[in-house]
A and B are shown apart, each in its own frame.
Chain A
């Protein structure tokens, strides 16, 4: 259970970015999380409300895009999705795969903000 520290890092990171957008209000924070990232979406959501309290992110929504494992199969010479975490094998030919191309992501993709127009 380290979701609270993950979410705290998100809050810090977004707050830093917001310095470039004075007065902006955050509507949504979008994450990309691989299934091998060892974080649980429910726990992230639970912690998000607590971690954003009293910050510029308070009231914003957290949107988590979960990414499956994609690996390079050397036999098929192409990237294949690995549907089960209990077996790292090519879903086409059954060969074991080790060369992971996706699945460990833990990143902030983007934020959606409301900005007051500058008036002259």
Chain B
């Protein structure tokens, strides 16, 4: 009997990472900007995305969305009200989206005919941070009702984000939201990140967000 050590040096999520790399290649070749939206449940991802889709379509952009949820197609129906093509991904208990689920739900879509594809992840600030979906931009959302220290509590997610969106600023005052502390905390975790302060209800901050989307789309490659 001999004992030996076999070096593996292998990523545990290698399969997901490879699928995500394949998707990223497809997205880049098609010229579609893909964004992965992550937040806690109840931050207002769906309302923010619905408003974003509506505004993009009104400006003549071509946008679509995939939305992940454990059960129900409620969010897909809400998003479809914008007029954009939307598909629901039900994870049936899995707390995050994986690249394979995204890939399976792209069948029949002409990616080349899209400017933007939004992927609304399952509401969860922990697990989705480990799973690359092939997106170019990961957007972490935080609402004024959640507490300014959320980025400090979930550094793994906020540190992996490329942009941050504060939602529901129309009710910031009622919630005694400390704006300065929130901005400082986001910056402590992800120095220099672009932060958008928005309200899907009033449309505040949407203009700046849409300008950012247009800019990012015009930057090809990474």
Contacts and interface: CB of A to CB of B under 8 A. Distances in A.
A86 B9 CA distance: 29
A13 B14 contact: yes
Contact of A36 (B1, B96, B156, B191): B156
A37 B160 CA distance: 10
A16 to B, nearest CB: 10
A86 B158 CA distance: 11
A98 B9 contact: no
A37 B156 CA distance: 7
A111 interface: yes
Contacts of A97: 191
A31 interface: yes
Contacts of B3: 27, 112-115
Contacts of B192: 96, 98
Interface bin, chain A: 35 or more
B153 to A, nearest CB: 9
B2 interface: yes
A117 B1 contact: yes
Contacts of B5: 110-113
Nearest to B187: A96
Contacts of B6: 17, 21, 110-113
- Chain B interface helix/strand/loop/mixed: mixed
A86 B57 CA distance: 39
Chain A interface, DSSP helix/strand/loop, else mixed: mixed
B220 interface: no
B159 interface: yes
B13 A98 contact: no
Contacts of A1: 95, 126-127
Given A107-B10, A107-B11, A98 B188 contact: no
A87 interface: yes
A89 B11 CA distance: 27
A45 to B, nearest CB: 15
Interface in A75-113: 85-89, 96-98, 100, 104, 106-113
Contacts of B13: 6, 9, 106
B87 to A, nearest CB: 23
A106 B160 CA distance: 15
B129 A38 contact: yes
Interface in B144-190: 152, 155-157, 159-160, 187-190
Interface of A: 1-2, 5-6, 9-10, 13-14, 17, 21, 27, 31, 36-39, 85-89, 96-98, 100, 104, 106-117
